[in-house]
Copies of this chain bind each other. A is one copy, B any other.
Amino acid sequence: MERRSFVQGAGIAGVLAAGTAPAVVHAQANIRWRLTSGFPKALDTIYGAADTFAKKVKELSGGKFEISTHAAGELVPMPGLVDAVQNGTVEMGHTAPYYYFGKNDAFALGCAIPFGLNSRQMTAWQYDGNGLKLMREFYSNYGFISFPMGNTGAQMGGWYRKQIKTVADLKGLKFRVGGFAGKVTSRLGCVSQNIPGGEIYQALEKGTIDAAEWVGPYDDQKLGLNKVAPFYHYPGWWEGGPQLDLYVNQKAYDTLSAEYKAIIECAAAYAHTEMQAKYDARNPAALKQLVANGAKLVAFQKPVMDAAYKAAMDLYSEISASNPAFKKIYDDYSNFRRESNLWFRFTEARFDTFMQSAKL
């Protein structure tokens, strides 16, 4: 049986069902894999990273390694992505790991936790610190391997019908917030809830919710939230640098030649860098347009930030006390965060602060 037709015909599920370690795919064999995204195509920067990745894999392999990309829900709904990659329903998934904190809070550490690492720090922790090693060790419990594939940078704090001036203003606030961050906003008194992006506008307009965070100017602009909730708070202290990950089913990955493994790694690296670049290049014009259309930019005041910070640190202590997987990773993560911020406060911060106040 020709290798190619075996791999194509049986699919990874068939390979796994065979129950034995599959042989390695020849370098240069033709293969087709499927990638499910955790996002809709409308998020062209985030979903676009999966398309960029697939395009680069095809180019790098001379057209022999083809990956089809699928929006959330097309093959697998977003909440089922981890299971689908684990089970081999698809070979690959691209998502924000913190969505899956219900399985284990440690997922959030591979993406973003409130008052966590910023974008450069997260990449540094993954590429040259212990981050990638620790997260892969954790993910091995779910039968997949991870590759950093994108970051949005520090997100905005979302859209509010009324301005948040004090911590008391958060009490009872019906707040749409994604992922793990709801654990902290709930401790501050918010009624935290996760509703899909496409339903946010209507919920805010009707008053079903009082506030909603999404991403940042470039993505938020598409939802038009400035028309129904004008106060645009910042920073999104729960997402200082959320990383997207490519998850690859480990058994499928093990069938690949060293060449194809390198192709996945480097194509993901290209997409990782390009996604942050896209946000950085496109957010400025979107922010200007949002402000021109009525958005009121307001910083969260320090007492609000301080209360949120304390709630977050308390939460991490509590989780660490009962979850050894979280504790092991968080100990390294928090040490990296402390050391990194001690350094970034000097030359990086001083340079940026000067440039941000200069008449350019």
Residue of B nearest to A342 (CB): B284
Complex partner residue of A118 from B127, B270, B299, B351, CB under 8 angstroms? B351
Count A interface residues, CB 8 Å.
87
Residue of B nearest to A240 (CB): B351
Stoichiometry, copies per complex: 2
A345-B338 CB under 8 A given contacts A120-B120, A126-B277, A281-B124:
no
Is the Cβ of A262 less than 8 Å from the Cβ of B297?
no
A300 to chain B, nearest CB (A): 8
A29 to chain B, nearest CB (A): 12
The binding surface of chain A is classed by DSSP as: helix
Is the Cβ of B236 less than 8 Å from the Cβ of A297?
no
Is the Cβ of B265 less than 8 Å from the Cβ of A270?
yes
Is the Cβ of A281 less than 8 Å from the Cβ of B344?
no
Is the Cβ of A337 less than 8 Å from the Cβ of B354?
no
A358-B115 CB under 8 A given contacts A266-B266, A284-B343:
yes
The verdict on A237 contacting chain B, using a C-beta distance below 8 Å, is yes
Give Cα A325 to B61, complex, Å: 37
Is the Cβ of A354 less than 8 Å from the Cβ of B237?
yes
Is the Cβ of B358 less than 8 Å from the Cβ of A123?
no
Give Cα A124 to B153, complex, Å: 12
Is the Cβ of A341 less than 8 Å from the Cβ of B360?
yes
Complex partner residue of A237 from B156, B262, B351, CB under 8 angstroms? B351
The verdict on A201 contacting chain B, using a C-beta distance below 8 Å, is no
Is the Cβ of A348 less than 8 Å from the Cβ of B118?
yes
Collect the chain B residues with CB atoms within 8 Å of residue A348's CB: 118, 153-154, 235
10 A-B pairs with CB atoms under 8 Å apart are A56-B262, A56-B266, A59-B261, A115-B354, A125-B281, A235-B350, A237-B354, A284-B343, A287-B343, A297-B346
Which residues on A are within 8 Å of B, measured CB to CB? 27-28, 56, 59-62, 115, 118-121, 123-129, 153-157, 216-217, 234-237, 240, 257-259, 261-263, 265-267, 269-270, 272-274, 276-278, 280-285, 287-288, 297, 299-300, 302, 305, 309, 334, 336-358, 360
